Structure 1
Amino acid sequence: MSKSNKIIDAARAIRSELETILGDRDTAQKIDRELNDLLNVPDPTLNLKQIKQLLNSNQKTKGWVKQKLSSSTKSLGYQGLPGMPSTRLQTQKYHCSEKGCDFVWSRRNLAQAIPKCPHHNVTLIAFEDDSPSSEAEL
């Protein structure tokens, strides 16, 4: 996955976390609307400069994205037990089923209830993200 696509994926992922990260609902909604406008185009990489500027405009979002990009690229060195097939642990991702909606949410643990899309009020559905990881920075 290219560096540009990793940043686009991080921008999509942060949308569901903005209120928690910022601690301010109004600011979170403002940034979410701006990200929505930048991401909901046929080729969001054309808006990459504006997306990076928006994410870098706040220290909390900048830090979250930097951590997200670095955590998805580092291996924890896990190896399965001898004789057992090695499997890589992944966070389950969910997305909105409405056409054109790019809202993505990551389930960090099984205790978390699956939320509804904040834009369409429909329950999110699971999908597999098979993208290979490689080092990237914001």
Structure 2
Amino acid sequence: MTDEVGQDLVLDAARALRGDLEQVVGSPEPHSDAVELDRRLAALLAVANTGSDVKEELHDLLLSDTKTRGWYLGFLSHGMPPDLVLTRESGPPGSGEPVSVPKFCCPGGDMTWYRRSVGQNAPRCSIHDLALDPC
């Protein structure tokens, strides 16, 4: 399957999962699965930021856990977190125009976060402690 999936899409999924980690995997308690997964994602994304191909490693990691597998496959299908697909495709009858979902990225390239409601403030990157920028 990874031959059919581009490196950019896998990287986008890994970055977006870091932004949704608590929602998908659970609270990041010390020594938890969420903390370990975030650490592994951050390490692979750091390698990717040097220009190395880590698509296979990220793909395998994202498929390895039952909590992340469904989320990842949904992201691959739609190019965004799966919970946003309903937001984008639902709504009152009309012309069917997609709803824009604001996306924010770490300037260091390690995290992507999608704003799900107007009242949400973008978090800071957990690796660089930088504000996420609209992207």
Q: Same fold (TM over 0.5)?
A: yes
- 1:91-110 matched pairs, under 5 angstroms: 91-97=101-107, 100-110=108-118
Identity of aligned residues (%): 32
Unmatched tracts of structure 2, length 5 or more: none
Change (3 A) 1:19 1:77: closer
Q: Distance in 2 between matches of 1:11 and 1:90?
A: 21
Q: Distance in 2 between matches of 1:105 and 1:61?
A: 16
Aligned to 2:42: 36
TM-score, length-normalised on structure 2? 0.72
CA RMSD of aligned residues (A): 2.8
Aligned pairs, number: 119
Q: Distance in 2 between matches of 1:114 and 1:76?
A: 23
Aligned to 2:119: 111
Q: For residues 3-43 of structure 1, give each alpha carbon's deviation from its aligned partner in whole angstroms, at most 9, with x where no partner exists.
A: 22212211111011112211141211211111111122323
- 1:65-80 matched pairs, under 5 angstroms: 65-72=72-79, 76=89
SS state at 2:55 partner = helix
Higher relative contact order (CA closer than 8 Å, sequence separation 6+): 1
Unmatched tracts of structure 1, length 5 or more: 128-138
TM-score, length-normalised on structure 1? 0.71
